[in-house]
Amino acid sequence: MPRYTPAEIEARWQQAWEKDGVFQATRNADKPKYYVLEMFPYPSGRIHMGHVRNYTMGDVIARYKIATGHNVLHPMGWDAFGMPAENAAMAIGGHPADWTYDNIAEMKKQMKPLGLSIDWSREIATCHPGYYGQQQALFLDFLKEGLVYRKNAVVNWDPVDMTVLANEQVENGCGWRSGAPVERRELTQWFFKISDHSEELLSALDSLDNWPAKVKLMQANWIGKSRGLQFAFSTIEAPEGFDRIEVYTTRPDTLLGASFVGISPDHPLAKTLERDDEAVAAFCAECRKGGTTEEAIETAEKLGYDTGIRVRHPFDTAHELPVYIANFILMDYGTGAIFGCPGHDQRDFDFATKYDLPIISTFLPSEDVSPKLSEAYVPQKSEKVFYNRGFAGDQWQTGEQAVDAAIAFCEENGIGQGVTKYRLRDWGLSRQRYWGCPIPVVHCDDCGVVPEKKENLPIELPYDVSFDTPGNPLDRHPTWRNCACPACGKDALRETDTMDTFVDSSWYYARFTAPRADTPTDLEEAAYWMNVDQYIGGIEHAILHLLYARFFARAMQITGLLPESAAEPFDALFTQGMVTHEIYQTRDGNGRPVYHLPEEVTEGKLSDGTEVEIIPSAKMSKSKKNVVDPLQIISNYGADTARWFVLSDSPPERDVEWTASGAEASYKHLSRVWNICDRVSEMDREAPGTGDDDLLRAMHKTIHDVTMGVESFGFNAAIAKLYAFTATLQKSKAGYAAQREAIMTLAQLMSPMTPHLSEDIWAHQGGEGLITKAPWPKADEKMLVDDTVTLPIQINGKRRAEIQVPADMTKEEVEKIALAHEAVIRTLDGATPKKVIVVPGRIVNVVA
RNA sequence: GCGGGCGUGAUGGAAUGGUAGACAUACCAGACUUAAAAUCUGUUGGGGCGUAGCCCCGUGUGGGUUCGAGUCCCACCGCCCGCACCA
């Protein structure tokens, strides 16, 4: 009997697909189109199991859609700009471009053996001038439409290396290379006006029926629409121009509990005071230490500085409040100034306690309770509470009612206005780095900031750059900056900032529809292929990438680069989990952990017999040495085994743990299927069998279940059904015709997951053409329904017995049979049941 | 700190509010074999009793809704993801 030899089979069928050109996508009006896309990879140089899982899922969908008669587009490209290439150049020498292109070549070579249904003729790399030149054209279009502008923004500044740091390069508030404490510094930068589209990006979430609810919720919270009151405190003894301090609050119902006003260290008033007062300057400098992340700001110790300035409470001008500069107030949200109500905000409470400010309640949990002095009272906004300092006298109200009342009251009395605000900030795209898309503008002494002419695109990155000193090599390049002003022709300087790599990934899905077009998109191609029908990627992109891409689709419509129909770029989204692995650890002489690769460990021991501590599953990472190399798996077991395994054990949205025994089991299963195919081939064609009908019924149920599973991303459940059907087939004594039908159907149902093995079985059984192109099997409805059903009988919700009844039996008859069951009679012991619930086809519950 | 998610046997997990543990791993037992590997078959949530059978407990913890809760609601605990210059 021949053995299952994946290496030989897989190479053969990959060649067959290539020769046939089955995955090359062209427009075809006769078939419904289907665009499936996985988030394109960063070319790190090696594929990992996460890639295998991500691309296998997309491949299952793509192959299933081909089989169900769709014209499928399934492209692949490289998110090729970014910091790692520059880091490599700094660490080991070489050039980011060489490093990146070598990595792309290597990863592509590693990806090919997976047998993915990718149209490689559409491959793109964002670092190629053919791509980023079009991105520059797109930027110029955005600029013309007012979708891009310049303003000051804060960056992480390393005072020793004299360079801007990414958040990732800040470790515990210090620069990763210099170790110097990071400061925040302002630079003039380019911004996309995403905030103009806040309402649209928020409300359109409702139309995304095939997106995970959690992603939509995260995006909605990120956009952060709020209704609140904007008003001003009038100041006492403030510097000129600061007669008033504008404040925005979502809790105006607590205004009578205000005990201080806080302003951001970046607030204009703070900056003015800083100029003439060393103490203020020192405090603001202290606040500006540390990174720019919201996390760093929100978790830092709360610090305040009393400016000495006082403001009058708008309702009681005799009531004066101190103005503090406080490090936890963000200039980017609201007006950069707040009023503090320690009674109803824990952060304000902590601040008030620290600086000995009064704590005033405006509402209480009940009329006769006095406020707690140990923590802020912060009930749900929907909860009714007793307002002892409300706007309409003492009364019970929900927070929502009180907020509305407060806004109405303030508007009537000319104190402030109700306004709607969004937390979403404009998207800063400038990066002070080399390995990115150059921003195509020129700075001219006479004309100011001038867009580059489209005929001069692409503005290519110069190759001759050095990475021996920190900072942006474009800044110190001897000639690259020098150019003629596109407006007046005089000597001018190029912008040396490059674009955030999120820009590259915000429109690549559109570029795939016409990857070689000499404009960013080809409207005809885009109109045919867009939107992406199924997008697949990691949950870590739930907010930024997906929000930016949604914004870009709108901006590209405005600039005429996408058709009206493509408002939302991704019709359906699926977020898949990670591939994890156990960590094997021992301790060195000082008790520090030492990690070991999976292949060094057998039965919990190293080769020298040392016991290994096993730490449960964690994300695969080089430093923890718990990485399994897909190439190793493919060479041991074949791609089909790797593909089968990453889909089999866990639901796709959850993490899956890679285990050697699991991989082994997958391989065994595929061998088993192969062996069944072999056995069927050798069967006596004429000999009668038994149980043909049972086998075919099981087959049709499996068709139904697997189809449902694939349609709903229940790959693990679909695979469980395939295991079960394989066992049924293996034991079957049915005749040749039934068994041949069963093994061919099994091969088809497995083909999205294990395409090579399936092709081989198909060919062995004399199937016509490629299984990849064969139409998906259809379940016969008649074969799915059984004549009798098993109904469990519960007494008071506990299962006591079960009965077999005809599927179409009436409720009344079922009830009669159930009550006559000896277990029911025994348990009821003569009592009359209070109630009997019969759910047809499901369950009977007798309430005693 | 803020936002989101997850938690079920020894393990990964299954289960439109309706028989908890499908399927797989691991373990144990058996068949085949001189033996091993491979392959095949079977058992396995915990506890109890008068053991062909029956009973009790059981889905992170505590409460609630329901005839019925792993599933819905509230609180808590633990872990994971994101927080705008990582990709």
DSSP code per residue over A100-132: HHHHHHHHHHHHGGG-----GGG-EETTSHHHH
A761 sits in which H/E element: helix A755-764
Both structure tokens of A540:
């870590």
Angle at A104 between CA A103 and CA A109, to 5 degrees: 100
Which is it for strands A316-326 and A304-313: parallel, antiparallel or unpaired?
antiparallel
Are A596 and A232 in contact by the 8 Å Cβ rule? The answer is: no
DSSP for residue A565: T
Query: Distance from residue A18 (CA) to nucleotide B40 (C1'), in Å?
Result: 39
Nearest to A581 by CA among A658, A639, A510, A685: A658
- Distance measured from the CA of protein residue A616 to the C1' of nucleotide B79, in angstroms: 12
Residues in chain A: 848
A684: exposed, middle or buried (C-beta count within 10 Å: 0-12, 13-18, 19+)? exposed
- Does at least one atom of strand B sit less than 7 Å from the CB of A657? yes
pLDDT for A549-564, tens place per residue?
A: 999 999 999 999 999 8
Assess whether A764 (CB) lies less than 7 A from strand B: no
d(CA A213, CA A209): 9
Q: How far is the CA of A380 from the C1' of B62 (A)?
A: 21
> Can you tell me the distance from the alpha carbon of A284 to that of A304, in angstroms, rounded to the nearest whole number?
10
Beta strands in A314-415 (DSSP E): 316-326, 337-340, 363-364, 384-387, 395-398
E-state strands within A651-784: 656-657
Q: Which is higher by pLDDT, A122 or A782?
A: A122
Nucleotide nearest to A436 (CA to C1'): B85
Gap from A824 CA to B49 C1', Å: 21
Query: Is the CB of A720 less than 7 A from some atom of nucleic acid strand B?
Result: yes
Mean pLDDT of A513-536: 96
- Judge if the beta carbon of A652 is closer than 7 A to nucleic acid strand B: no
pLDDT tens profile A162-200: 899 999 899 888 898 888 999 888 899 999 999 999 999
Q: Which positions on chain B have an atom < 7 Å from some protein CB?
A: 1-6, 11-16, 18-20, 22-26, 38-41, 54-56, 67-69, 80-87
What b/e readout covers A488-523, taking b as 16+ CB neighbours within 10 angstroms?
A: eeeebebbbbbbbbbbbbbbbbbbbbbbebeebbbb
pLDDT exceeds 90 at position A596? no
Backbone angles phi, psi at A114, to 5 degrees: -75, -15
Strands A843-847 and A788-795: parallel
Q: Is the CB of A214 under 7 A from strand B?
A: yes
Tokens standing for A287? 């606040």
In chain A, the N- to C-terminal Cα span, in Å, equals 62
A389, A199 Cβ separation under 8 angstroms: no
Written as six digits, the tokens of A519 are 């404009």
Residues facing A229 on adjacent strands: A249, A418
DSSP 8-class letter at A80: -
Closest nucleotide (C1' vs CA) to A675 is: B39
- Please state whether strand B lies within 7 Å of residue A294 at its CB atom: yes
Q: List the A375 CA – B77 C1' distance (angstroms).
A: 21
pLDDT of residue A776: 97
CA of A612 to C1' of B30 (A): 34
Nucleic strand B contacts from chain A, 620-649, CB < 7 Å:
648-649
- C-beta within 7 A of nucleic chain B, residues 48-77 of A: none
pLDDT tens per residue across span A797-832: 888 888 888 888 888 888 888 888 888 887 777 778
Phi, psi (rounded to 5 degrees) for A413: -95, 10
- With a 7 Å cutoff on the CB, does A180 touch strand B? no
The pLDDT tens digits of the residues spanning A668-712 come to 999 999 999 999 998 889 888 888 998 999 999 999 999 999 999
B20 C1' to A507 CA distance, Å: 46
Tens digit of each residue's pLDDT (9 = 90 or more) over A828-848: 777 788 888 998 888 899 887
- Element of type H or E holding A582: strand A579-587
Which pLDDT value is given to residue A449? 96
Query: Is strand B in 7 Å reach of the CB of A88?
Result: no
Separation between Cα atoms, residue A101 and residue A87, nearest integer Å: 15
Report whether A327 contacts A219 (CB < 8 A): no
| Any strand B atom closer than 7 Å to A302 CB | no
What is the pLDDT at residue A391? 76
Q: Is the CB of A654 under 7 A from strand B?
A: yes
C-alpha neighbours within 13 Å on the C-beta side of residue A693: 3
Q: How far is CA A675 from CA A373, A555, A689, in A?
A: 75, 56, 19
Tokens (6 digits) for A807: 């599927």
Q: Find the Å distance, CA of residue A615 to C1' of nucleotide B11.
A: 13
| Predicted TM-score (pTM) above 0.95 | no
Rounded-to-integer distance, Cα A368 and Cα A360, Å: 16
Please state whether strand B lies within 7 Å of residue A835 at its CB atom. Answer: yes
Strand A498-499 versus strand A430-431 pairing type = antiparallel
| Strand B closer than 7 A to residue A823 Cβ | yes
How many Å apart are CA A685 and CA A683, to the nearest integer?
6
DSSP class of residue A435 equals: S
**CA of A299: nucleotide with nearest C1':** B1
Average pLDDT taken over every residue of chain A: 90
A189 touches strand B (CB under 7 A): yes
Considering only residues 501-530 of chain A, list those whose CB is below 7 Å from strand B. Answer: 501-502
Could you read off the pLDDT of A611-659 as tens digits, one per residue? 777 776 667 777 677 777 888 889 989 999 999 999 988 888 887 777 8
CA distance A80 to A131: 11
Residue with tokens 């795939």: A512
Label residue A2 by pLDDT band (50, 70, 90).
low
Q: By C-alpha distance, which of A552, A454, A539, A570 is closest to A503?
A: A552
- The β-bridge relationship of strands A534-538 and A579-587 is unpaired
